[in-house]
Structure 1
């Protein structure tokens, strides 16, 4: 029995169970002067006790996919955070070097890497040969091709998605990273680029990544908990979105952004109309 295959299947199985429990049904409850869960920090809600209803006004944007966190930040960001994406991409470089070392240390039966050729002619000579020869249909274990690679594609996808980019942009980032960073980059030092991986990693990876995206929002809404456990919650976040989770753990903050606009600031009970004023918003 292949121990690598067994361990991989066990991790994926446990991770899938953890994520499935992390996706809770959301039922926002409205009380007096309480903001709806799906209103962003730029929205205002006013409760009219006499009429027994809630009046809410859109000041900037209303987005039912934005999670308001306790520290005042939003998930996902309301704008493209290129600085966050840049930090994440830089961490990929360091992680890739470590991953290459781990793969190189594994048996050739697992990775299918020709270590003797790499030692004899040098890794850069091998990289040129592999790039010229590819892509080819590889014979890697199905766990590597159809579980590990889609998972890695989901990580690439989540890196962009959690930085405020939309579905298509996140797919493009996943495709770029899986193609040029990994297949024709790091992995090409050891083996010929794979046809399956060039397609499966970004395509299935983006599907997996979008599932991670909604699961992460659900976990954040539940105060970073899965099955009422913060340990499972933070573990799931680290598995689904490792670089953004690590970045947030170091206290990453977006640059200060200011906005000024005219918007409802209250409600005139007698006139039954909103009171308008100048709204100034500063986001850190």
Structure 2
């Protein structure tokens, strides 16, 4: 009985080992993961100013664009003055004249600096440095005083410096404030930022930088795209 029992146990052990061998799962090859997996996240915009050099043709085109706008804006913003005082006879008489105007402080210390600030911000949006934007603002303001506003009144000494100089000082403050608000990511901040610096809304603004985050397996980066 011992011999039979041993044989049975042996057969049983042999069966069990064989069954375990058959039940072993074959190794499954997993698909190789790419060494560098890169993810592209939603792009964001960063508002700034990028100074660059300008050709003579670019300067003329920018001055001409502002000059054309002033011929449209002036009668729209002061219709009563244009209607009452405007005439070709006054234009001829006022041409080349320069006087100290007697405008109310509201115009000399508020309206003209505000219009000058937008001139400054326009040229900044076109890629001019701060000093060059001041120069271009001065030229545009002078052209307006001596060739547009004389349709109703002579050129003003105060306006010649208050519009570009005070306007550029105000424009610099608006530039910094608007960039801060536009880059907060806050909707209300962006609305206010565009409102005080409207040039950032238009196609000619050169400081809108597209930021595209790049996230990889072992690194992270930032793709910067600038439209000229």
* TM-score, structure 2 as length reference: 0.61
- The structure with more radius of gyration: 2
In the TM superposition, 1:157-176 aligns within 5 A as 157-176=120-139
Cα distance in 1 for residues equivalent to 2:205 and 2:122:
16
Which residue in the other structure is 1:188 paired with?
150
Cα distance in 2 for residues equivalent to 1:79 and 1:90:
19
Which residue in the other structure is 1:150 paired with?
113
Asked if 1:75 is matched to 2:37, the reply is: no
Which residue in the other structure is 1:265 paired with?
none
Residue 98 of structure 1 deviates from its aligned partner by: 3.5
Over 3 Å counting, the alpha-carbon distance change for 1:85 and 1:210 in structure 2 is farther
Cα root mean square deviation, aligned: 3.2
Asked if 1:103 is matched to 2:67, the reply is: no
Q: Which runs of 5+ in 1 are unaligned?
A: 1-68, 106-110, 255-280
Please identify runs of 4+ aligned residues in structure 1 that moved more than 3 A. Answer: 80-89, 281-284
In the TM superposition, 1:255-270 aligns within 5 A as none
Aligned length: 166
Over 3 Å counting, the alpha-carbon distance change for 1:237 and 1:282 in structure 2 is closer
Residue 187 of structure 1 deviates from its aligned partner by: 1.1
Residues 42-89 of structure 1: per-residue CA shift (max 9 Å, x gap): xxxxxxxxxxxxxxxxxxxxxxxxxxx924x65212535776994696
Cα distance in 2 for residues equivalent to 1:88 and 1:208:
21
Q: Which runs of 5+ in 2 are unaligned?
A: 1-42, 207-223
Q: 1:211 aligns with which of 145, 149, 173?
A: 173
Over 3 Å counting, the alpha-carbon distance change for 1:78 and 1:145 in structure 2 is closer
Tell which has more relative contact order, 1 or 2 (C-alpha 8 A, sep 6+).
Answer: 2
Contact 1:75 1:162 in 2 (8 A): no
Over 3 Å counting, the alpha-carbon distance change for 1:143 and 1:282 in structure 2 is closer
* TM-score, structure 1 as length reference: 0.50
SS at match of 1:129: helix
